[in-house]
Structure formats: C-alpha cells, structure tokens
Structure 1
Amino acid sequence: MADHLTGGCYCGGVRYRLDGPRRDIIGCHCSQCRKTSGHFAAMTSVPKDKLILLSDETLTWFQSSETVRRGFCNRCGGNLFFDPAEKPTISVTAGTLDLPTGLRMTRHIFVKDRSDYYDIPAD
C-alpha cells in the first residue's frame, strides 16, 4: 500500500492527503450515516494527525451529536469526514478517495439499522 492516499469532494473545494496506514473499509448502516450519505457510509480511518488538509475552502463541520462532528463540502455537498471527539482516529468516506486505493471493504456495522430496500450478503 502506498505511503499516502489523496482525495477530495466532487467540486475540489476540499482536498486532503492521508499519510501512513489506513484501516480497510467498513460499511456503516446506522441512521446518521444513512441520512448524511444517502445510503450506507463506506469509510476508512487514519490517526487524526495523518489527515492533511490540502484545501479546505469549502469544508464545513456539522456537530451531529455531542461527541461527533461530520465534515462536508458546503458547495457540492460531498460527505467527507466522521470525527468522533473521544477517538484518536478520523473516518474518511471511501468514495472521496482518488484511485487506486488498495483498500477493501472488510465488514459492516450497525447492520440491524440498515434500510429495508437492500440486503447484505451473509459472508
């Protein structure tokens, strides 16, 4: 895996670099992720100090709960970051990563909260 990955929102107002190792992709089916992404959220994560913002002119943070804020682009609406205050890592939406990522989706969480229009394979 490369030492770093880059990514950003659709319009380019937010660009970032992830330095060092990343976690493989986790699919989160909780109601907040569904509401902010339009489906389930597929995310990797890195230590917070390994997320380098290259451009953040359109980055807006939304406090979605007492302990979590979510970063999105206020121009194109791109869902970018999930930042839990109590954890040393920040999650980054996989769809905003530039290709190739070298990452794989390895598990799903909050599956019982998924919507009723899709199934998740048992494997």
Structure 2
Amino acid sequence: MIKGSCLCGDIRFDTAAQPKGASMCHCSQCRKQSGGIWSSAYVRDEDLNITGRVSWFVASAAAKRGSCRRCGSFLFWKAHDEDTTSFALGAVDGNTGLSVEKHIFAASKGDYYEIADGVPQKD
C-alpha cells in the first residue's frame, strides 16, 4: 500500500495497485508549479483513493492538475482523455519501492541543471 498526503494533511491518498511510469517531468508547467522537477507515477483512477478537497486547475487542453487549497501542494496530474491519474512521488509517506523509468519533456528542462543519471530522456 502506498499512502501520501499534502503538506498540511488536508488531502490524503492511497493505492494498493502497483504504480507505473515513474518519471521526472521537466516541462515548464511542472517547473513553475513545483519550483523544480516533478516526479510522479500513475495508477488507474479506480485504484486511487483520495480524501479531502482537491482543487483542480485545467492547465491545458490535454490535462488538469490537482493541488491542496490550503497548503498549495501539487499532488495530481490527470489527462482529460485517460483513465489514470499521476500522483506526486514526493508526497508519498515513506518509501515508494519505485525507480525512475524516464525523464519527460527533457528538452524543456531548466538551464541550471543537467540530467546525468543515465535514465532515458524523452523530449
């Protein structure tokens, strides 16, 4: 079981499913919202239990982003046309048991760091 929460604890989530697609996102939206690289993995919507009031922001024609209204923690990413939701690995309580599989939007990364871990990169 993976469990997590926002900084203030108003939103909690858990899943018994095995998360997939552990990635580090370097897109400008993730960098602006998180202040850096956003790490996430996803599960099917039906396998993710969320308690608390998520504030959903429609960030693009493709997806929305979920955060806590009280503390501002950026917790979820959801494509409009998919049945999965990504959750922030940094919000997980304890270890995840996952390893990063890929870096996404690597071409949009900030100029102040290098990606040097040998994990595949997708532009």
- Asked whether 1:103 is paired with 2:103, we answer no
TM-score, structure 2 normalization? 0.90
Query: Which structure 2 segments of 5+ residues have no match?
Result: 119-123
Q: Distance in 1 between matches of 2:40 and 2:104?
A: 11
1:1-123 equivalence runs, <5 A: 4-53=1-50, 55-57=51-53, 59-121=54-116, 123=118
Alignment coverage as a number of residue pairs: 118
Q: Is the 8 A contact 1:25 1:43 kept in 2?
A: yes
TM-score, structure 1 normalization? 0.90
Q: Distance in 2 between matches of 1:75 and 1:122?
A: 35
Aligned CA-pair RMSD: 1.2
Q: Distance in 2 between matches of 1:120 and 1:17?
A: 30
Over residues 38-77 of structure 1, what are the superposed CA-to-partner deviations in whole Å (9 max), with x where a residue is unaligned? 1111001001111101x214x2111101231110011111
Q: Distance in 2 between matches of 1:122 and 1:93?
A: 20
Q: Distance in 1 between matches of 2:117 and 2:68?
A: 34
Over residues 91-118 of structure 1, what are the superposed CA-to-partner deviations in whole Å (9 max), with x where a residue is unaligned? 1010001112111112101111000000
Q: Secondary structure in 1 aligned to 2:101?
A: strand
Q: Distance in 1 between matches of 2:85 and 2:55?
A: 15
Paired-residue identity, %:
36
Q: Secondary structure in 2 aligned to 1:105?
A: coil
Query: Which structure 1 segments of 5+ residues have no match?
Result: none
- Structure 1 ranges of 4+ moved more than 2 A: none
Residue type at the aligned position of 1:73: C
Query: Structure 1 residues 85, 111: closer, same or farther in 2, change over 3 A?
Result: same
Residue type at the aligned position of 1:7: G
